[in-house]
Chains A and B, each alone.
Chain A
Amino acid sequence: MKLWIKLALRELSGNRKFSLFFILNFSIGLVGFIALNSFNFSIQNHLKNNLKEILTADIAVYSPRPLNQKELNTIDKVLGNERQESHQVTFFSMISGNNLSRLAMVIAIDNKFPLYGKLVMEKNGQNLEDNSLPIKDNSLPQKKPSLPFAWISRDLAVTLNVKTGDTVRIGNMDFMIEDIVISSPGNSVTPVELAPSIYIDISNIEETGLTGFGSRIRYARYYRILPETTTDQVLMAKTIELRNSLAALFDGEPLVNVYNSEDVNRNLGRLFGYFTGYMGLVAIVALFLAGIGTSYLFRGYLNARLKEMAILKTLGARRIDTYFLMTLQVMILGFFSTVLSVAFSFVLLPFFPKVLKGLIPVNFEIAANPESLILASFLGTLGSVIFCLPLFVRIHFLKPLILLQGSDRSAGMHVNKIITKNNLLKISAFLPVSITFWILAVGQTRSFERGTFFLLSFAGVMLITGLTGTFLLSGIRFFSNTGNPILKIAFRNLYRHKFSFISCFVTIAMGAFLINVIPQIKNGIQDEISRPEGMKIPGFFLIDIQPEQLNELEIFLKARGVALDNASPMVRGRINKVNGVGFYDRFGSKNKKNITEDQNREKSRLNAREEGAGQGRFRRREFNFSWREKLDVSETIVKGKPLEDTPWNFHDDKPLEISLEEGFAERFHLEIGDIMLFDIQGIPLEGRVVNFRKVRWNSFQPNFFILFQKGVLDDAPCTYLASVPQMPASEKMPLQNAMAGKFPNISVLDVNQTVEQLLDITDRLTFSINFMAWLAIVAGLVVLFSIVRYETRTRSMEINLLKVLGAGFNDIIKITFVEFGFMGFSASLFAVILSLGCSYGISWLFFGNLWSFRWEYSLFSIFSITVISLFTVYFASRSVIMQKPVVLLKSA
């Protein structure tokens, strides 16, 4: 053992260039993967350690109305008396202060909030000498100020330009700002903050006048179970029991929702999972490309070492000893690659929170964790061996006889001959690499299907690229029939070195494909978000307009030269049955009184599907219904017939006609002709689905999943949604302030601000994904470097002969540039075409055909990749090209 370790180290130190290159190359592939996994592990750990702080309780019960006595009794019965309890009410409202206004989330809390975690406040910190942020005692101020107090988030304070001691208005009531919230446990993880938070005393909410009909209010009760030693298993059992017991009180889908920290973990884990999963797949591609480079480097190294291994065999080394020697060398290099990539990834990690600001917990800190280091070591040491494994077949067929058979190169050629005849062995040697990548892909996507789909797609793209490369070779052969000696030699070199051409072509094309496909998809989405085709994005979106305010609002706006557009009534109600089967029963258990954990998981899965479709955090219990005189320009019927123009007659036996948004119909498995039973404010109504609509949600116009025939909802209590057209930025804030003053209950959403927020996040996500893609390109270039270096060395005899025959340095350079410039150009051109096709397909499949072509980016990437390829080739081949022919003759 000692001998082989010594030999391995000596061989590596004797081949420093190879060792350094191997380490650098593999670490480039590893760095993205390790950084991403470190981030992933850190965030998982953070969530795991802070789940209760994020939920602020062991168990939380949410409802759209205050709980009734029966429900409270059920809670008492299941949770017992050994508990702490905190109540909360949340809703969105316009907040005014300092002549400015802003939509905010009002969080009304009691003096027990939070049961877990701390509110970190600004005011106390100013009095502390060490300037550290103080922890606010979990209680409301002992001495209440003259006005009701409010704690506001820093964002809101900045937006309204207010400070501690100033006054803000919520609805009909003024509040004094008692302190500024730096972070709060419940809000420490927010996917995208639609509105900043403001905390008030729960006893003040009635006086704001904002809790009337039509307000979207969420009531929450938080429970901390005592004693503190209560295990997670007991908490889970109590959660399930409470969920089942409360569900038993409802005929249909329960209005009350029970959550524990595990649910929070699942929801948040999924959120980060989507992002990191996608980046992880790009990182896998980078790792794969680096793997190709690594194995190419190793191929050259191994060929040079075959003679030495043959010597060792003549001196008594067994076959296993030679395997061990090479494996050990690869593992040592892999280990150092890990060390380097871990160092690189630590440089990268601090950028994650910056890029993902707004998407990750406020107090989240990335720390080195053993899991990611173990994974890194595994990938570095064993991963490098797995990549090189197909080449170990060469050692298997090595016979010491080659030592009696001439030059060093004959060793590799001799082994090549044997391997070529053994297809089964060749294929089986690639199995471990394929299986490893499949496991990584499944691990990254956390889904067997998605991981397999990715791997197959990746293999498909590689196959198409490889076939295109092969097809190109026949064209190259044709090009070589030219009178120009430079072109002739260059093109002949290309088609006579098929393997190296196709390897280079595939790796460059894969990297170029990655850096093109993502921006192409993004372009279409970005264009659509910022300026949907044929539509004008409104300036403001107005929510919760009471019917009696509609006229007054219209007059108010008209007086300011602004129109009120698309005022759409909105009625809340429930879907009880579809074709005679309970709406709830169609997705969950048949017997809701005995919901098992498995069924809960199934329900969560369905919830996840709904989330994936962008429906929101929780599964809907109530839906919003509306009706229209005519469809908005942002919606079109894609299936079925338009709704009847005539109003529906209550005394008619015929069911009312319903129009569904196509995504909604798909999500809830609804078909044209389905009979649906609704409960609108206690009145049962039966309707038939007659059409599906495609809705451009990004138009920011009031749109609904379900539209009813005219006349159905005329008398139902409703609120209105509406929009206000674009206007100069200077006029926006005064109008918003005026509306907030006059109509405090109406929520005004600044559409531009929201679009900007979305685009900002999209940009940051695109940046990080592009970074990974560039990593893949760098890995591809290192492959190119490795291949060129290897090829120029093996072709040094030919280069030397060319020189002896009269070719000058410039001629050799020209030949090399034509050869590899053509390769880089054709690979990047092909990749751009392929990426355009794929991005169009993906946009058509997943983003409703939102696709736009930006030729500048494509042209730039073709140009830059070709130029970078040429530079790479120059540096890789320079040492051989610059040598004098006599030196090459000596070495030959």
Chain B
Amino acid sequence: MKILQVKNLVKSYPQTSDNPLTVIFDTSFDVCQGETVAITGHSGSGKTTLMALLAGLDTPDSGSVMIRGEKLGKMDEDRLARFRAEWIGIIFQQFHLMPHLTAKENIMLPLEILKYKSEDIERRANRVLRQVGLDKRKDHLPSQLSGGESQRVAIARALVVEPSLLLADEPTGNLDTNTGEQVADLLFDLVDSSGMTMIVVTHNIELAARCRRNLKFEHGRLQAASMGN
């Protein structure tokens, strides 16, 4: 079952000169339920822009992004926000945790926004805290956590709503090699065990290799697709 369908996607940015800078050229691909896909490429290849378009954080000039059969382009901002909260989990390279909330509160936040019952919120948050191994650090503020711990909180926060699609932007990019590997292990374990679909934007070859499929981007174009391990 196709969970993500990208068709003829084009994105450009206006420049001071008359010619806009096109960063995504006529890109199409599909992703099926349970797949893990890596989008790789050099800096400036357009992979982060593609990630933004997939998450509905930016709008394409033309083409469409369809998730679970719904076109993101047809949604207004509020509807998009709600759709994203329900079906898309996002993990950022810089973690982006709420600094004044504890680890557990950060994890509970999306559930609270979606107005889950308090007992459900508590249950899900505790479960995912255990899954990422932070149940003993749950009351710590982000400033009191290490980089690896912060990213684990970010992963837990993305997973706690059990999204259909998980988008990860360089999830290990801000971590040292060892911690990065540990976080990657955790991420893939959780995704595998839940049967979730994940797209990882990265230039880390090892991380990309752990995905089932690898889409390589160069100069805004999808150059090649290969199967991972």
Min CB–CB distance B200 → chain A (angstroms): 14
Known A-B contacts A314-B55, A401-B52, A403-B96; the reply to A10 vs B101 at CB < 8 A is yes
B84 touches A11 (CB 8 A): no
A314 touches B169 (CB 8 A): no
Min CB–CB distance A13 → chain B (angstroms): 7
B57 at the interface (CB under 8 A from A): yes
Q: Restricting to B93-114, which residues have a CB under 8 Å from any CB of A?
A: 94, 96-101, 105, 109-110, 112-114
Known A-B contacts A308-B99, A317-B113; the reply to A399 vs B82 at CB < 8 A is no
Known A-B contacts A10-B101, A400-B57, A401-B57; the reply to A318 vs B96 at CB < 8 A is no
Q: Which residue of the partner chain, among B51, B92, B98, B113, contacts A316 with CB atoms under 8 Å?
A: B113
Distance between Cα atoms of A403 and B110 in the complex (Å):
17
A308 touches B90 (CB 8 A): no
A399 touches B58 (CB 8 A): yes
Q: Restricting to A277-335, which residues have a CB under 8 Å from any CB of B?
A: 307-308, 310-321
A321 touches B52 (CB 8 A): no
Distance between Cα atoms of A3 and B81 in the complex (Å):
17
Contact with A along B120-137 (1 / 0, CB 8 A): 000000000000000000
A316 touches B82 (CB 8 A): yes
B81 touches A317 (CB 8 A): yes
B92 touches A312 (CB 8 A): no
B78 touches A319 (CB 8 A): yes
Min CB–CB distance A182 → chain B (angstroms): 60
Q: Restricting to A392-427, which residues have a CB under 8 Å from any CB of B?
A: 399-401, 403-404
Q: Which residue of the partner chain, among B78, B90, B100, B113, contacts A14 with CB atoms under 8 Å?
A: B100
B90 touches A314 (CB 8 A): yes
Q: Which of A307, A321, A404 has the most CB of B within 10 A?
A: A404
Min CB–CB distance B136 → chain A (angstroms): 22
Q: Which chain A positions have C-beta within 8 A of B57? A: 314, 399-401, 403-404
B48 at the interface (CB under 8 A from A): yes
Q: Which chain B positions have C-beta within 8 A of A14? A: 99-100
Q: Which chain A positions have C-beta within 8 A of B86? A: 316
Q: Which chain A positions have C-beta within 8 A of B96? A: 307, 310-311, 314, 403
Distance between Cα atoms of A403 and B112 in the complex (Å):
21
Q: Which chain B positions have C-beta within 8 A of A314? A: 55, 57, 84, 90, 96
Distance between Cα atoms of A314 and B81 in the complex (Å):
7
B113 touches A13 (CB 8 A): no
B30 at the interface (CB under 8 A from A): no
B139 at the interface (CB under 8 A from A): no
Distance between Cα atoms of A310 and B57 in the complex (Å):
10
Q: Which residue of the partner chain, among A312, A318, A399, contacts B78 with CB atoms under 8 Å?
A: A318
B92 touches A403 (CB 8 A): yes
Distance between Cα atoms of A14 and B101 in the complex (Å):
9
Distance between Cα atoms of A404 and B97 in the complex (Å):
14
Min CB–CB distance B87 → chain A (angstroms): 10
Distance between Cα atoms of A316 and B109 in the complex (Å):
10
How many residues of chain A have a CB within 8 Å of chain B? 26
Contact with A along B55-96 (1 / 0, CB 8 A): 101100000000000000000011001101110001010101
Distance between Cα atoms of A317 and B55 in the complex (Å):
14
Distance between Cα atoms of A400 and B92 in the complex (Å):
12
B100 touches A315 (CB 8 A): no
Known A-B contacts A11-B100, A403-B92, A403-B96; the reply to A312 vs B51 at CB < 8 A is no
Distance between Cα atoms of A10 and B57 in the complex (Å):
27
A319 touches B98 (CB 8 A): no
A319 touches B113 (CB 8 A): no
Known A-B contacts A401-B58, A404-B57; the reply to A316 vs B99 at CB < 8 A is no
Q: Which chain B positions have C-beta within 8 A of A15? A: 100
Q: Which chain B positions have C-beta within 8 A of A401? A: 52, 57-58
Q: Which chain B positions have C-beta within 8 A of A320? A: 78
A316 touches B114 (CB 8 A): yes
B99 touches A318 (CB 8 A): no
B81 touches A318 (CB 8 A): yes
B52 touches A10 (CB 8 A): no
Q: Which of A310, A317, A400 has the most CB of B within 10 A?
A: A400
Distance between Cα atoms of A199 and B186 in the complex (Å):
98
A3 touches B112 (CB 8 A): yes
A10 touches B55 (CB 8 A): no
Contact with A along B141-164 (1 / 0, CB 8 A): 000000000000000010000000
Contact with B along A5-49 (1 / 0, CB 8 A): 001001101110000000000000000000000000000000000
A13 touches B100 (CB 8 A): yes
Known A-B contacts A315-B85, A318-B82; the reply to A404 vs B51 at CB < 8 A is yes
Min CB–CB distance A408 → chain B (angstroms): 9
Min CB–CB distance B79 → chain A (angstroms): 9
B52 touches A316 (CB 8 A): no
Q: Which of A15, A314, A403 has the most CB of B within 10 A?
A: A314
B78 touches A404 (CB 8 A): no
Q: Which chain B residue lies CB-closest to A400? A: B57
Q: Which chain A positions have C-beta within 8 A of B48? A: 404
Min CB–CB distance B70 → chain A (angstroms): 15
Q: Which chain A positions have C-beta within 8 A of B55? A: 314
Q: Which chain A residue lies CB-closest to B58? A: A401
Min CB–CB distance A128 → chain B (angstroms): 63
Q: Which of A310, A313, A315, A403 has the most CB of B within 10 A?
A: A315
Q: Which chain A positions have C-beta within 8 A of B85? A: 315-317
Min CB–CB distance A509 → chain B (angstroms): 37
A10 touches B100 (CB 8 A): yes
A316 touches B84 (CB 8 A): yes
A315 touches B113 (CB 8 A): yes
Q: Which chain B positions have C-beta within 8 A of A312? A: 98, 109, 113
Distance between Cα atoms of A186 and B49 in the complex (Å):
82
Distance between Cα atoms of A10 and B112 in the complex (Å):
15
Q: Which chain B residue lies CB-closest to A407? A: B94
Distance between Cα atoms of A13 and B77 in the complex (Å):
30
Min CB–CB distance B125 → chain A (angstroms): 14
Min CB–CB distance B9 → chain A (angstroms): 16
Min CB–CB distance B90 → chain A (angstroms): 5
Distance between Cα atoms of A400 and B77 in the complex (Å):
11
Distance between Cα atoms of A321 and B81 in the complex (Å):
11
Q: Which chain B positions have C-beta within 8 A of A317? A: 81, 85, 113
Distance between Cα atoms of A13 and B141 in the complex (Å):
13
Q: Which chain A positions have C-beta within 8 A of B114? A: 316
Distance between Cα atoms of A315 and B58 in the complex (Å):
15
Distance between Cα atoms of A7 and B92 in the complex (Å):
22
Q: Which chain A residue lies CB-closest to B83? A: A316
Distance between Cα atoms of A319 and B78 in the complex (Å):
7
Q: Which chain B positions have C-beta within 8 A of A400? A: 57
Contact with B along A253-273 (1 / 0, CB 8 A): 000000000000000000000
Q: Which chain A positions have C-beta within 8 A of B169? A: 404
Known A-B contacts A3-B112, A3-B113; the reply to A308 vs B81 at CB < 8 A is no
Min CB–CB distance B83 → chain A (angstroms): 8
B98 touches A308 (CB 8 A): yes
Min CB–CB distance B32 → chain A (angstroms): 24
Known A-B contacts A10-B101, A401-B57; the reply to A313 vs B92 at CB < 8 A is no
Distance between Cα atoms of A313 and B96 in the complex (Å):
12
Q: Restricting to A221-280, which residues have a CB under 8 Å from any CB of B?
A: none
Min CB–CB distance A117 → chain B (angstroms): 60
Min CB–CB distance B67 → chain A (angstroms): 14
Q: Which chain B positions have C-beta within 8 A of A399? A: 57-58
* 25 A-B pairs in the complex with CB atoms less than 8 angstroms apart: A10-B101, A13-B100, A307-B96, A308-B98, A312-B109, A313-B81, A314-B57, A315-B85, A315-B109, A315-B113, A316-B81, A316-B82, A316-B85, A316-B86, A316-B110, A316-B114, A317-B81, A317-B85, A317-B113, A318-B78, A399-B57, A403-B92, A403-B96, A404-B48, A404-B52
Q: Which B residues have a C-beta under 8 Å from some C-beta of A?
A: 48, 51-52, 55, 57-58, 77-78, 81-82, 84-86, 90, 92, 94, 96-101, 105, 109-110, 112-114, 157, 169
For the A-B complex with A315-B85, A401-B57, A401-B58 known, give 14 more contacts whose Cβ atoms are closer than 8 Å: A3-B113, A11-B100, A13-B100, A14-B99, A307-B96, A311-B97, A314-B57, A315-B84, A315-B157, A316-B85, A317-B81, A318-B77, A399-B58, A404-B51
